[in-house]
């Protein structure tokens, strides 16, 4: 019953298949605004969970435009290629992040994050 407005980034946990495409299993995460961090409101929907995301080190790439699944997959492949075989990061998932509201037509910011092991 508490309105929190737009949060940024909206983060989608993507689980890649062997061929690089995304499995149908995804998790969407929204940042709880600062004023609710210490005592977040309890979700009224049991499918909504409160999670604490601990600090992490990431490898990241950024791109613009209205991001679609294919864009995240392509930029994840480019990031993987740029990192080569020496970088140690989680291979079972990566994070797709969008920073802008849907009505912003220009100067959009999207990122792919690989979590360092």
For residue 106, being part of any structural domain is answered with yes
Residue 27: cis peptide before it, omega within 30 degrees of 0: no
For residue 110, being part of any structural domain is answered with yes
Report DSSP state, residue 78: H
The domain that holds 61 is classified in CATH as 3.20.80.10
For residue 85, being part of any structural domain is answered with yes
Report DSSP state, residue 34: G
Residue 59: how many other CB atoms lie within 10 Å: 17
Range of the domain at 15: 10-34+53-115
Q: From first to last of its 117 residues, what are the pLDDT tens digits of the chain?
A: 677 777 889 999 999 888 877 777 888 898 888 888 898 888 889 998 999 888 999 999 999 999 999 999 999 999 999 999 999 999 999 999 999 998 999 999 999 999 999
Tell me the whole-structure pTM to 2 decimals: 0.87
For residue 40, being part of any structural domain is answered with no
Q: How many domains does the chain have?
A: 1
């Amino acid at each position: 019953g508490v309105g929190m407005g737009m949060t940024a980034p909206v983060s989608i946990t993507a689980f890649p298949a062997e061929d690089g495409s995304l499995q149908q299993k995804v998790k969407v995460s929204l940042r709880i605004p600062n004023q609710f961090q210490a005592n977040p409101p309890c979700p009224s929907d049991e499918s909504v969970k409160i999670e604490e995301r601990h600090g992490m080190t990431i490898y990241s790439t950024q791109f613009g435009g209205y991001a679609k699944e294919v864009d995240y997959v392509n930029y994840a492949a480019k990031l993987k290629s740029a990192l080569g075989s020496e970088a140690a990061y989680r291979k079972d998932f990566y994070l797709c992040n969008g920073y802008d509201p849907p009505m912003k037509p220009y100067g959009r910011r999207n990122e792919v994050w690989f979590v360092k092991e």
